[in-house]
């Protein structure tokens, strides 16, 4: 079970952040009344730049932690040392897991904008896809935890929902305050 869950933190972090930040970009743009083309450009830029940033940041974080442990000659009980070596021994793999999870999961909210359907419907479909993806990622965490899948899914959905609402409100406020001037 330990090896099965070795990358769970990376996958959850990457998928959750990918879904939330992409949908936050979409929500802010929709709140501001921007076109589907602009939403696609912003969403793809977010997927590429933030996905790379997340993966490389995780990689650098794990390398830094490993270097600190080596410098300080930190030792761990035998039961923990194998887990720690698995995590800090392969920072590149963990960085890739984070970045790829970000890109794949983060693409889900953007998909409706590639189809020729009314823009308000695109947003509702993106909202539904985002909610489903957040809940699913949260529920899948229970494959390596003892948590109940409904509670775990709802936790992830609430976190993402708060971020999406905040982004939409910011977009709407900016449009109301500066829409005519832009």
Mean pLDDT of 55-76: 83
For residue 81, the model assigns a pLDDT of 61
For residue 84, the model assigns a pLDDT of 63
For residue 80, the model assigns a pLDDT of 64
**CA-based nearest residue to 36, from 151, 108, 113, 137:** 113
For residue 23, the model assigns a pLDDT of 93
Mean pLDDT of 69-90: 68
For residue 167, the model assigns a pLDDT of 87
pLDDT band for position 48 (cuts 50, 70, 90): very high
**CA-based nearest residue to 182, from 41, 28, 34:** 34
For residue 119, the model assigns a pLDDT of 83
> Where exactly are the structural domains of the chain?
8-175
pLDDT tens-digit readout, 83-116: 666 666 788 999 999 999 999 999 999 999 999 9
**CA-based nearest residue to 26, from 115, 118, 108, 123:** 123
**CA-based nearest residue to 27, from 178, 158, 163:** 163
Decide if 88 contacts 69 (C-beta within 8 A): yes
Q: How many residues appear in the chain?
A: 182
**pTM of the predicted model as reported, rounded to 2 decimal places:** 0.81
Side-chain half-sphere exposure of 119, counting CA atoms within 13 A: 14
pLDDT band for position 3 (cuts 50, 70, 90): low
Residue 55's contacts (CB-CB under 8 Å, 6 or more residues apart) are 14, 95, 96, 98, 99, 100, 102
CA 93, CA 81: separation in Å to the nearest integer? 18
């Amino acid at each position: 079970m330990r090896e099965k869950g070795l990358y769970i933190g990376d996958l959850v972090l990457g998928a959750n952040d990918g879904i939330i930040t992409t949908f936050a970009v979409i929500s802010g743009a929709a709140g501001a009344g921007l076109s589907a083309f602009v939403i696609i450009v912003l969403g793809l830029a977010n997927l590429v730049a933030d996905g790379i940033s997340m993966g490389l940041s995780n990689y650098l974080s794990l390398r830094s932690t490993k270097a600190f442990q080596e410098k300080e000659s930190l030792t761990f009980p035998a039961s923990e040392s194998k887990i720690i070596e698995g995590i800090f021994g392969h920072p590149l793999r963990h960085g890739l897991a984070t970045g790829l999870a970000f890109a794949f999961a983060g693409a889900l909210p953007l998909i409706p904008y590639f189809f020729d359907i009314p823009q308000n419907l695109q947003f509702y479909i993106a909202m539904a896809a985002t909610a489903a993806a957040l809940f699913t990622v949260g529920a899948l965490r229970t494959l390596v935890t003892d948590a109940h899948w409904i509670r775990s899914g709802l936790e992830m959905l609430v976190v993402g929902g708060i971020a999406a609402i905040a982004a939409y409100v910011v977009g709407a406020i900016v449009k109301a305050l500066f829409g005519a001037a832009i």
